[in-house]
Chain A
Amino acid sequence: MSHESVNPVPIKHKYFTPGVIALAIVAVNGLVFLMGRFFFGLGAVTNLNNQYPWGLWIGVDVAAGVALAAGGFTTAALGHVMHREEYHAIVRPALLTAMLGYTFVAIGVFVDIGRWYFIWHPLLMWNGNSALFEVGICVMIYMTVLYIEFLPIFTERFIGKVNLPGFLSILNKPADKVLRILDKGLSKTMFIFIIAGVVLSTLHQSSLGTLMVIAGPKMHPLWQTPILPLLFLLSAVAVGFPMVIFESLIASRSLKLKPEMHILSRLGSMIAPLLGIYLAFKLGDMFIRKTFVYLGEFNTASIMFTIELLFGVIIPLRMFLSPKVLKSRPLLFTASALVVFGVLLNRINNFIVAYNPPYSTSSYFPSFGEISVTLGFVALLVLAYRFIVLNFPVISLPTKPTAPKTKFMIRGEEK
C-alpha cells in the first residue's frame, strides 16, 4: 500500500443545498421529457429526422461523455501503471467520475436507440467491420471494469461496519466475511483490471473517432480525416487531467474542502505537452490535407472550428505553460474548463456541426426536449457524485504533515 499519506474518507457535509435542489429540478424536467420519448417515440421529443439521424444525445451524452470520462484511465495509468503515488489522492475521484460518466453514456445510448429492449443484441450479433460494434463492446466491458475498480471502495466502506436492519442482522457476520474475501481477492488481482481499463479506453476512445469516417463526404472536410481515431484518442488523453482538476476544484468548493493545490498544480504541468501533441496532429492534418482553405469561408463550420481550436486548445495550452496559472486556483480552473469546453465542442462539431447530408432541407438544432434530457442527465450525474462522496471514502482529506507515516493500512479490525 501507499506510504504517502492518502486518506480517503466519506465527506461530512449536508446533502441538500439550494444548488442541489436546483439540480434536482433540472433532473426531473429531463426525466419528464424522457418519458415522452418512451411513450411517443423519438420523433415526439427530438428534432431528429431522416436527414439528421444523430443529434445532441449521440454528440454530447455519448461521444463527449466518453471523452470527458477519460480522466479515469489517464489517472489510473499515472497513479497505478507508472506508480506515481503522489497522485493517488486524485485516482479515486477520477475513477468515480469515469464510472458515473460511463453509466450515463450507457443510459444515453439506451434512450437514443429506437429499440432499447434490443440493447443486448451486440453481445450476440457481431459485426467486426463496424466501428460502432467495437465502441459498444469496449464500452460495455470497460464499464464492468470500472465497477470492479470501484468495488474496493465499497468493501472499505462496509468492512467491520455491516449493520443490516431487523432480522437481517444475523447476516451481518457472513456479509462481513464475504466483503473481506472480496477485498482480499480484489487487491491481489486489481492490476489485471487496471491495465485492462487503460487498454480498453485507448481502443474505444479511438474507435469513437472511426465512427464518422464512414460518413465520408457527408462530413465537412475540416473534420473528416482518416486520422480521426488518433485525434479522438489524443484529445481524450489531453482532456483527462483538466477534467480531474475541473471536477476536483468544483467539488472542494461545494463541499467546503481545502483544494489539493499541490497535486493539482503538478497534474496541471503535464497538460501542456499533451495538448501540444494533440494540437500538432490537428494542425499537421489540416496542412497536409490543405483544409485551411475552408477557414477563409465565413460560415458555421469555419467559426465553430476556430472557436474549438482557439479557445479549446491554443489558449489553454498557453495558460498551462505559465507557472503563474498552475499556482493560481481561479486561473487553473479557467484553463481546465477551457480544455473541457474544447473537447465538448469538438465532439459536438464532429457529430453534429460537421454532418452535412446531401439532401438536407433544413439544418438540425436540438429540440427543447433533447436539451432537457441532456441537462437532466448531467444534473443526475452530479447528484449521484455528491451522494457517493458523502457516503463512501472517495475524496482524500489533506493530512497534517506531522502525521506519522504508517506502513500498513488498517481496515476495521476483525471481530
Chain B
Amino acid sequence: MPDKSRRDFLKKTAAIGAGITALSSPNAKAGPENILSPDRMGVLVDTTVCVGCRNCEWACKDAHGLPAGNLETYEDRKILETKRRPDHTALTVVNEYSHGKNSNLPVDVKVQCMHCDHPACVSACIVGAFSKHENGTVTWDSDMCIGCRYCMAACPFQIPAFEYDKALHPMIMKCDFCFDRTKEGKLPACVSICPVEALTYGTRTELVKIARDRIKRNPDRYVNHVFGEYEVGGTSWLYLASKDFVELDFPMLGKNPAPGVSESIQHGIFAYFVPPVSLYALLGGIMWITKRRKELEEEGKI
C-alpha cells in the first residue's frame, strides 16, 4: 500500500532525525502518485431514486467515528429545508430540491467528495498529502498535512473541510470513499445502508454504461447528462437527475482536468530546471561583461 510505505518513510525519517539525510535518500518520493486504473471503482447516484432518508449520513458518521446520534432522529425532514454542505462533522449530506420533470416528488441529492480522476487537491497539496489510489479513491494523509488549506482553494467542488476550531492538529475532513472498508472487500458505508438502492457501487466504466442505459430506456425520467462522466476530466462519483444539474446546485465545469493549466505552467517554468539555470547563466554573463567594461573604463582613465 503506497499509503503505508509513506507512513513508514515518515517514521524512518523521524528516527534518523536529520532532515538532510532524508533529502538525499532515494525513499523521498517526488510528488504524490496519480494512478488511473481501468478497473477503478465509482458510485452511480440516481437522484430520481433517492428518497432523502439520510441513512447514508448516519452510516457515514458511524463508519468514520464521528458522533452520529440515533438513526431515528434522521427521519426528521425539517433539516432538508436548508441547504447544507459536507464539513468536519458530516462527510456527506443530502439536500432536497423541488421536483423535476414527470414527477411531483422532491429531488434529493447526496453530496460528498467526487473522487476526481485528475484531482485538483492531489496536484495542489504542497506536501503531497493527497493520493489518488488505484481503486479510484482520493485520500488525505494526516501525517503529512501542514494545514495550509490550498486543497480547499483548489477543489472545484468545494469539498475539503478544515477544523477551524482546533488549535492543535486540525484535520482536513472529506469523504475517503470508505478506503478501509473497500480494502476488506466491504461496500462503502453509504452504499451499503441505502434502502432504495439509489447508490450503485461498481467499476467506473460499468457505471457509465449503466447510467447511459438508464437514460436511453427512460428518456422522460432523466435529463441526458451523466454528471461526472466528463466534468473536470471525469469523476469516480457519477450522478443521474431528472432536472438540469445547475438547478441542483452542481457547479458548471468544463471537460478539462482542474489541475491541467497550472501543471503545464509549473512544468513549463521548471522544464528540467533549464529555464532557471539558463537565467542564472545569462545574469552571470551580464554581470561579468558589465564588470569588465567598468574595469576597462577605469584603466583607460588612469
With an 8 Å Cβ cutoff, the count of chain A residues facing the other chain is 70
Contact partners of B170 in chain A: CB under 8 A: 41-42, 114-115
Restricting to A12-63, which residues have a CB under 8 Å from any CB of B? 38-44, 46, 48-51, 53-54
| A120 and B19 contact, CB distance less than 8 A | yes
> Quick one: CB contact mask for B77-118 with A, threshold 8 Å, 1 for yes?
000000101010000000000000000000000000000000
| B291 and A118 contact, CB distance less than 8 A | no
Restricting to A199-249, which residues have a CB under 8 Å from any CB of B? 199, 202-203, 206-207, 210-218, 226, 229
| A217 and B251 contact, CB distance less than 8 A | yes
A10 within 8 A of B: no
B299 within 8 A of A: no
A131 within 8 A of B: yes
- For residue B169, which residue of chain A has the nearest CB? A115
Given A125-B144, A203-B276, A210-B265, also A130-B283 (CB < 8 A): no
B8 within 8 A of A: no
B167 within 8 A of A: yes
A113 within 8 A of B: yes
Given A199-B276, A226-B265, also A41-B161 (CB < 8 A): no
B249 within 8 A of A: yes
| A126 and B287 contact, CB distance less than 8 A | no
Contact partners of B265 in chain A: CB under 8 A: 131, 210, 213, 226, 229
**In the bound complex, what is the Cα–Cα distance between A122 and B152 (angstroms)?**
18
Main secondary structure of the interface of A (DSSP, over half): helix
**In the bound complex, what is the Cα–Cα distance between A118 and B143 (angstroms)?**
9
- For residue A49, which residue of chain B has the nearest CB? B164
**In the bound complex, what is the Cα–Cα distance between A240 and B252 (angstroms)?**
39
Contact partners of A131 in chain B: CB under 8 A: 124, 262, 265-266
| A50 and B162 contact, CB distance less than 8 A | yes
B158 within 8 A of A: yes
A77 within 8 A of B: yes
Indicate which residue in A116, A121, A215 contacts B154 across the interface (CB closer than 8 Å). Answer: A215
Contact partners of A195 in chain B: CB under 8 A: 280, 283-284, 287
A133 within 8 A of B: yes
A268 within 8 A of B: no
Given A195-B280, A215-B154, also A118-B147 (CB < 8 A): yes
Given A41-B165, A195-B284, also A202-B279 (CB < 8 A): yes
**In the bound complex, what is the Cα–Cα distance between A112 and B146 (angstroms)?**
10
B210 within 8 A of A: no
Indicate which residue in A83, A198, A229, A358 contacts B294 across the interface (CB closer than 8 Å). Answer: A83
**In the bound complex, what is the Cα–Cα distance between A360 and B148 (angstroms)?**
20
B40 within 8 A of A: no
A134 within 8 A of B: yes
Contact partners of A213 in chain B: CB under 8 A: 261-262, 265
Question: Can you report 7 residue pairs joining A to B where beta carbons are below 8 Å apart?
Answer: A53-B152, A119-B146, A127-B30, A199-B283, A210-B266, A215-B153, A357-B158
Please provide the 3 A-B residue pairs with the shortest distance between their CB atoms, ordered closest to farther. Answer: A114-B147, A43-B164, A53-B152
